[in-house]
């Protein structure tokens, strides 16, 4: 999944003949140019094709601004919830032994295996008019589906595993010794977490939160099922992009899409930065291991 990054030394010695090397590089680059680079550039070309003022105009339209505001609000509500859960889950899984731990770890990944449309559907079945809680909700005049709560719930579901995954991987690798030492020295649970665990997992947490935010802002399938796609009201940015595109307002659609593409670029850049921050630690450990062995 995203976030895997490897330090890759280029090894001398055995390699393919020059012609084969060039050939493989050309094939790989051609594939990536057609499938990644051109589509990415195309978003901005289309967004700017009627000039800068048309671009700004499309983004500043009341409906676009409403979509941007809603998207930020949804992310601001769902990301902290998942970050909190991620910390709790990683703490429970890596610091305690209990039955069903493997099952819990698998269950955390479950939302990745579920189609976004199915993710939306299950919340409609719970809270929709015909749903399990539908009658109770409508009696109390509470709207979940086709309203903000439904969008937030579906978003929490699809962006659920990111923080937990990143944290579990790092906390598993770092072991329990440091916390145990802190405990012996008289630290309470909160001090242990604040002073020992958090500094160790800081970058993994940041990385998880960034991935979670990107997904939360960009979710389309699940949100289009629960939101009802009411323009200016329950349309998040991806939904607004769809509405504009289906109305043949291509330039405006790509203008809003380009903002999401910028979020994606920011995510990729931050991933690279975080990977570079965490890599030296790993290298040090490898060096230490080698020194011990010799």
Which residue intervals of 96-133 are DSSP H helices?
101-113, 116-127
- Residue 5: CB minimum distance to another protein, A: 8
Cβ closest to another protein, residue 97 vs residue 185: 97
Cβ closest to another protein, residue 104 vs residue 181: 104
Distance CA 74, CA 149 (A): 9
- Residue 142: CB minimum distance to another protein, A: 17
CA proximity to 273, closest of 206, 218, 220, 214 = 206
Residue 68, SS3 per DSSP: helix
| Exposure b/e, 80-90, CB count within 10 A at least 16 = b | ebbbebbbebb
- Residue 255: CB minimum distance to another protein, A: 11
Distance CA 190, CA 197 (A): 10
Cβ closest to another protein, residue 9 vs residue 186: 9
- Residue 76: CB minimum distance to another protein, A: 17
Cβ closest to another protein, residue 92 vs residue 186: 92
Q: Which two tokens stand for residue 111?
A: 């939302």
CA proximity to 1, closest of 214, 200, 196, 235 = 214
- Residue 60: CB minimum distance to another protein, A: 20
Cβ closest to another protein, residue 185 vs residue 270: 270
């Amino acid at each position: 999944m995203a976030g895997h990054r490897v330090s890759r030394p280029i090894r001398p010695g055995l390699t393919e003949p020059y012609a084969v090397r060039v050939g493989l590089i050309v094939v790989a680059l051609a594939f990536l140019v057609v499938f990644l680079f051109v589509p990415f550039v195309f978003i901005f070309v289309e967004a700017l094709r009627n000039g800068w003022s048309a671009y700004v105009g499309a983004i500043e339209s009341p409906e676009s601004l409403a979509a941007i505001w809603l998207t930020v609000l949804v992310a601001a509500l769902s990301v902290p919830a998942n970050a909190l859960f991620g910390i709790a889950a990683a703490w429970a899984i890596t610091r305690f032994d209990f039955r069903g731990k493997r099952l819990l770890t698998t269950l955390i990944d479950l939302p990745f295996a579920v189609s976004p449309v199915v993710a939306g559907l299950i919340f409609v079945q719970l809270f929709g008019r015909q749903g399990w809680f539908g009658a109770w909700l409508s009696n109390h005049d509470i709207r979940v589906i086709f309203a903000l709560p439904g969008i937030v719930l579906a978003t929490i579901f699809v962006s659920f595993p990111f923080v937990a995954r990143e944290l579990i991987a790092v906390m598993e690798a770092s072991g329990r010794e440091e916390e145990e030492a802190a405990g012996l020295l008289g630290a309470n649970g909160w001090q242990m977490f604040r002073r020992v665990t958090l500094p160790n997992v800081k970058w993994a947490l940041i990385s998880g939160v960034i991935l979670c935010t990107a997904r939360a802002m960009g979710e389309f399938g699940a949100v289009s099922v629960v939101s009802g796609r009411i323009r200016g009201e329950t349309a998040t940015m991806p939904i607004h992009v769809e509405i504009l595109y289906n109305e043949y307002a291509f330039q405006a659609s790509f203008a809003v899409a380009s903002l999401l593409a910028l979020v994606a670029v920011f995510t990729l850049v931050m991933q690279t930065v975080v990977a570079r921050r965490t890599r030296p630690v790993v290298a040090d450990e490898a060096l230490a291991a080698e020194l011990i062995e010799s």
